[in-house]
Amino acid sequence: MNYTTYIALIPLLPLAGFVLLGLFGQRHFTRSAGILGTLILLIATLLALYTAYQYFIVTGAVNGAYAAIEPFKYAWLEFSPGMSIDMGILLDPASVMMLVVVTVVSLMVHVFSLGYMKGEERFATYYAFLGLFTFSMLGLVLSTNIFQIYIFWELVGVSSFLLIGFYYDRPAAVAAAKKAFIVTRFADLGFLIGILILAFNSGTLDFGILIQRLTDTQSLQWMQITGTGFLGVSILSWALALVFIGGAGKSAMFPLHIWLPDAMEGPTPVSALIHAATMVVAGVYLVARLYPVYLIEGTILQLITWIGAISAFLAAIIACTQTDIKRVLAYSTISQIGYMLFALGVPAYGDASNTGYTASLFHLFTHAFFKSLLFLGAGSVIHFVHTNEMANMGGLRKLMPLTHFTFLIACMAIAGIPPFAGFFSKEEILLTAWENNKLIYYGALVTSGLTAFYMFRLYFSIFWNKTAPPNHHTDHHGEGNWSMKLPLLILALAAVGVGFIPFAHYVSINGSGSPILIPISFSIPPVLIALVGIGLAYILYYRENDRPQRLATALGGLHKTIKQKFYFDELYLFVTKKIIFNGIAKPAAWIDKHLVDGTMNGLGWVTTRVSVSIKAWQSGRIQSYTLYFFGGIIALAALFIYWWK
Amino acid sequence: MLTDFFILMKQELVITVIIFILLLLKIGTDMSNESFINLTNGLLLLNLVAGFVGSQSGTLFDGMFLTNPLIVLEKNILSLGTLIVSLQSADWLKRHDHVSEFYILLLCTLLGMFFMISAGNLLMFYVGLELSSIPMAAMANFDLAKKKSSEAAMKFIISSAFASGLLLFGISLVYGATGTLSFSELSLQITGAPLQIFAFVLLLAGFAFKISVVPFHLWTADVYEGAPVAVTSWLSVISKGSVLFVFVAVLNSVFRSLTDTWYNMLFVLSVLTILIGNLFAIRQNNFKRFLAFSSIAQIGFILVGITGSPNYAITSVVYFVLVYVFSNLAAFGVVALVSAVTGREQVSDYKGFYKTNPVLSWVLTIALFSLAGVPPTAGFFGKFFLLLSGAGKGNYVLIVIAALNMIISFYYYLRIVKAIFMDANEQPIEKLSIPAYPRLAMIICVAGIIVTGLAGYLYDYIYALTYRL
């Protein structure tokens, strides 16, 4: 099958959109920018869906496995034979799946923003940034080369920075953009060092060759990278751990999660796209890309398991106490990504089978749809009531019927109620955990109860609780126009439907998956726990009452600690402001000011002085020029014939 | 045999034919300046295209003349530079009385360079070198009304003659010591006897004079300042490029057995050149003088690259010259335009340039960034490969000195960028319209700066060619 003719268009079209709208948008397409950007992305999405159809259905599995194809690859910078930074496209089940997720969710966000961002002053710029992000994200998932992924990884970070800080006149947005950029950039440092170690030891940057060399225990590279160690841990482990730090930063895992809740300062559709469905799962995708290498290094996978599980649990607890609806969703995102990561890691405790890989990517897939639906629904609500605070909402079900209905579907999906999509993927994750590590399983079970609780707390608080506010500026703009409703409907359909895709058949670590069979009896406890969570939420939040307040008072300090997000931000502030600024930055600044600047100024002064004093050389008299010329020859000859032989 | 002759010498033959066409037109017709310029640019474009058609290795005239794909590429780079210079000077030439003479002289020097690059014998090399420098003196005098221009020409011809005399002395010593002048035989005969080293120093001085290595550089600034901008850019890019090509080739073929000696000489000379070039460049206020001294510093960096192992040295030098053609000519293009229209050449005149001429400001800025070696531009990769080549020998003192001096050069390049964008000016340079030919030249240069930097395979391509020598 020949993909080469059009495959490159998928990432390049959004890039073209970015260039077009970025250069001319504000001047020439003030109104049509949205339509233009959306149309461009629609073409890209159709091409992506066609590619997926070609890849999975038409070409299909050969000998029971889906082949990895590289439709094109271009050696961009070649350091030495075999060691080059390539720009290429890699199609394998995981990347094709991501291709569909990114384009579809991005398209939905493009359409939704037509209504949501209408009348914004920098409307065209917004669409230009969306195009840049989509391009970068597509480049990331299609990378053939670990350095290519790094380049796009940073580009994704930049476009996320631009979009979080889109309302650059709000100090909070600017601070959040900065925070997101700095925290993820800090983590990326680990990623870069990890890449360099892997590349140095395996002699290649290409994913395929790298995996092949580092998983073959007979190969020279494998012996080298596992044979040497640092601080008692093999170099391979260090490299993988460092790469994972990069992933954990992007995926907002504890303790690098602090940027994600603040990132909610960006426009809500952006949160749906970047901070729910696509960019934040890049860390999961990265681990999945290098999964064969991770599999042979069990300790790192165990580390990943625990980081994932702890993130899932802590974020779920924090989500229960937040009152800003976008922050609730942000913590829920952290929690769900935690699920994906421990699903990847947990097989290291048991049979190291590939069910974890499939389950994790399946959850990534379903989560993308229902979480972006939740965010877009939240966007719709915020658009309607002009606030993010739960306390100012309530009773909106009559006023926003469609939003209410789709939001409910998404809540059921994330809570894991059959037959919605989240149920299927979560069951697979739980089954993997059950088979490999019981402790993780029970933790996940509790977390899934918490998930159901906080999601329905959100749901009841928005749509029920109080009676509808009297005449709450409803007359002029209702629920929003078609462009805001259509994406909700489509994503709701997806949140119901995608769970029935035989995912394991398509995406698995060795390309030939057998479906993961879940016994019905296994599903009973999780569903029950979820129902308990929903019941609790119903009791506390269905009608306006003082029970939540009483509960909060009863829990006292504990509630406050959780509500303050376990004081993570304060801890970081303490470390940066008090320790780093005072202990390191101030002395460094002093040295910089007095020693470095002093030396530099001194050097500059000397340079200028010398420069003035040799002015006489350049006298303009040709006699002296020839004299210097001849002197140069004599000096060189004398120096090299007699002295420096 | 005859077809061999035509194929191997195709570039020289094309240039010769063009020279004859121009001569005949000059004598036989009464063409207007404008159509003459159009025609010549067309012919130069044809010459460039012809250069890319087929390339073979081979020797002619009993080893006097040799060529191979790398040499063809080097000549093509020079042809490209010639075309750009010609496009840039179109506006200035249009108002000049002696257009045809200018072009004929220009092409004669180019022909000389081609023969010099293809030389397989020291005599052939010498003839090529002279053919490329004597018409240059006449070109330097081409601002006929200006005294400074004549002064530049005089200084150039006298110091040239002096350098040539010493070079000839060196060649005769080589002949006396070895009994041959052919490159292939010389490489076997040279053993490192003191007389040979002395002869080598004389030859080295000849090269060093042409590419302005300290202390053989003193003519540079005066000539650059006095000569018309077109000639200055020609001298600083094309003429230097051609000599560099020969220099690096000769060092690694004829004087291969003296590698240890010339390595140390180049070490000393490159440190001196970078330092002195930078120190002078910092203080210059005349833009042309500034570019002259900064180009001396650039030569120092090139010498660092030349010290590397043969394949890397040749590759990095050829690549850098290509980059340098684009970057320096872009800078000179803007300076030439401004100087031709307003007559202002001081760096301080460029304050507030961005307010009145945003497009020219960007072109100049990109060019200066590339000259300074700021990352996304081609200049960064050019310098990077030069230093990488030099580092291959393990002499990190040299690399550290070079890297430190890169920082100094950042200072004086960015000083101009600051003046362009940030400084206020009571009387900024007025808004200039860019005529079609110079505009085309600028587009080629800027595109070249960006594309050469991003297209990594170019370097690999040159590297592959060095293996087929």
Q: What is the pLDDT of residues A218-258, one digit of tens each?
A: 777 766 766 666 666 778 888 888 899 888 888 888 888 88
φ/ψ of B217, rounded to 5, equals: -105, -5
Q: Do A611 and B283 touch (CB under 8 A)?
A: yes
Instruction: Give all strands (DSSP E) within A4-138, no chain letters.
Output: 69-80, 83-91
CB contact under 8 A, A611 and B456: no
Q: Are A500 and A422 in contact (CB under 8 A)?
A: no
| Chain A residues closer than 8 Å to B408 by CB | 607
In this predicted model, which residue has the larger pLDDT, A600 or B282? B282
Structural domain total, chain B: 1
Say if the ipTM goes beyond 0.95.
Answer: no
Determine the distance in angstroms separating the CA of B100 from the nearest CA of chain A, rounded to an integer. Answer: 31
Q: Chain B neighbours among A 53-82 (CB < 8 Å)?
A: 75-78
Domain residues for B205? Answer: 2-466
Task: Report chain A's terminal Cα–Cα distance, integer Å.
Answer: 66
Q: How far is A128 from chain B (nearest CA, A)?
A: 22
Contacts of A417 (CB under 8 A, 6+ apart): A423, A452, A527, A530, A531
Residue B140 in contact with residue B166, Cβ under 8 Å?
no
CA distances A53 to A48, A69, B341, Å, are: 9, 15, 63
Indicate yes or no: CB of A636 within 8 angstroms of CB of B204.
Answer: yes
Chain A's closest residue to B153, CA to CA, is A622
| B159 contacts A629? CB cut-off 8 A | yes
For B205, name the nearest residue in chain A, comparing CA atoms only.
A633
CB A437 within 8 A of CB A350: yes
Shortest CA gap A151–chain B (Å): 14
pLDDT: which is higher, A164 or A217: A164
* Residue A108 contacts residue A124 (beta carbons within 8 Å): no
Q: B321 with B77: CB under 8 angstroms?
A: yes
A607 and B158 within 8 Å at the Cβ level: the answer is no
CB B113 within 8 A of CB B238: yes
Name chain B contacts of A151, Cβ cutoff 8 Å: none
Does the beta carbon of A632 lie under 8 angstroms from any beta carbon of chain B?
Answer: yes
The length of chain B, given as a count of residues: 469
A628 contacts on B by Cβ (under 8 Å): 215-216, 218
Whether B161 and chain A come into contact, CB under 8 Å, resolves to no
- B371 and B379 Cβ atoms separated by less than 8 Å: yes
**Integer Cα distance of A326 and A332 in angstroms:** 10
A637 close contact with B: CB closer than 8 A: yes
Least CB–CB distance from B162: residue in A607, A614, A626: A626
Q: Give residues with Cβ within 8 angstroms of A115, minimum separation 6.
A: A383, A480, A481, A482, A483, A484
DSSP 8-state class, residue A576: I
| 3-class state of residue A324 by DSSP | strand
> Does A636 contact B163 at a Cβ distance shorter than 8 Å?
no
Which of B215, B282, B460 faces A632 most closely, judged by CB atoms? B215
* Residue A556 DSSP class: T
What value does the mean pLDDT of chain A take?
81
Is residue B464 within 8 angstroms of chain A, CB to CB? Answer: no
Mutant choice from A599, A614, A618 vs B, greatest count of B C-beta within 10 A: A618
For residues A6-30, average pLDDT: 82
Helix ranges restricted to H, A32-79: 33-52
In this prediction, residue A475 has a pLDDT band, given cuts at 50, 70 and 90, of very low
> Distance between CA B342 and CA A281 in Å, rounded?
59
DSSP string, B17-32: HHHHHHHHHHHH----
- Quick one: closest CA in A to B454, which residue? A76
Above 60 in pLDDT, residue A471? no
B-chain residues near A617 (CB < 8 A): 218
CB contact under 8 A, A622 and B457: no
Determine whether the interchain pair A629/B162 forms a contact, defined as Cβ–Cβ distance below 8 Å: yes
Domain borders along chain A are 1-91+118-164, 168-266, 300-556
- What single letter denotes the amino acid at residue B253? S
CA-to-CA dists, residue B157 to A12, B81, B215, B410, angstroms:
56, 23, 18, 34
- Are the beta carbons of A626 and B159 separated by less than 8 Å? yes
Yes or no: say if A125 and A138 are a contact pair by the CB < 8 Å rule.
Answer: no
Contacts of B162 in chain A (CB under 8 A): 626, 629
DSSP string, A163-203: HHTTSTTSHHHHHHHHHHHHHHHHHHHHHHHHHHHHHHHHS
Whether residue B282 and residue A611 make contact (CB cut-off 8 A), yes or no, is yes
Record: contact A614-B456, CB cut-off 8 A:
no
User: Residue A237: enclosing H or E segment and its boundaries?
Assistant: helix A235-250
Q: Which residue from B minimizes the CA distance to A81?
A: B460
The reported pLDDT for the residue numbered A614 is 67
- Upstream peptide bond of B228 is cis (omega within 30 degrees of 0): no
3-state SS record for A375-405: HHHHHHHHHHHCCCEHHHCCCCCCCCHHHHH
Q: Which of residues 600-619 of A touch B (CB under 8 A)?
A: 607-608, 610-612, 614-615, 617-618
DSSP string, A251-305: TT-TTSTTHHHHGGGS-HHHHHIIIIISGGGHHHHHHHHTHHHHHH-HHHHHHHH
| CB < 8 Å to B202, chain A | 633
More confident residue, A400 or A509: A400
In B, minimum Cα distance to A603 occurs at B408
Structure confidence at residue A616 as a pLDDT band (50, 70, 90)? low
- Report chain B residues whose CB lies below 8 A from the CB of A88: none
Give the distance from residue A599's alpha carbon to the nearest chain B alpha carbon, in angstroms.
Answer: 14
pLDDT tops 80 at residue A591:
no
Q: How far apart are CA B177 and CA B189, in angstroms?
A: 9
pLDDT tens digit at each of 469 positions of chain B: 677 777 788 888 899 999 999 999 888 887 888 888 888 888 888 888 888 887 778 888 888 888 888 888 999 999 999 999 999 888 888 888 888 889 999 999 999 999 999 998 899 999 999 999 999 989 988 888 888 888 889 999 998 999 999 999 999 999 988 888 888 888 888 888 888 888 899 999 999 998 988 888 888 888 888 888 888 889 889 999 999 999 999 998 888 888 888 888 888 899 989 888 888 888 788 888 888 888 888 999 999 999 888 888 999 999 999 999 999 999 988 988 888 888 888 888 888 888 888 888 989 999 999 998 887 788 888 888 888 888 877 778 888 888 888 888 888 888 888 888 887 777 888 888 888 888 999 999 999 998 888 877 788 888 888 876 6
**Chain B interface includes A640 (CB < 8 A):** yes
Question: A509 CA to chain B: closest CA distance, Å?
Answer: 34
Q: Is the peptide bond before A469 cis (omega within 30 degrees of 0)?
A: no
Give dist(CA A329, CA A451) in Å, integer: 11
**B171 and chain A: CB distance < 8 Å anywhere?**
no
* B201: contact with A, CB 8 A cutoff: yes
Using the Cβ of B258 and the Cβ atoms of chain A, whether some distance falls under 8 Å is answered with no
Question: Please, which pLDDT band fits residue A513 given cuts at 50, 70 and 90?
Answer: low
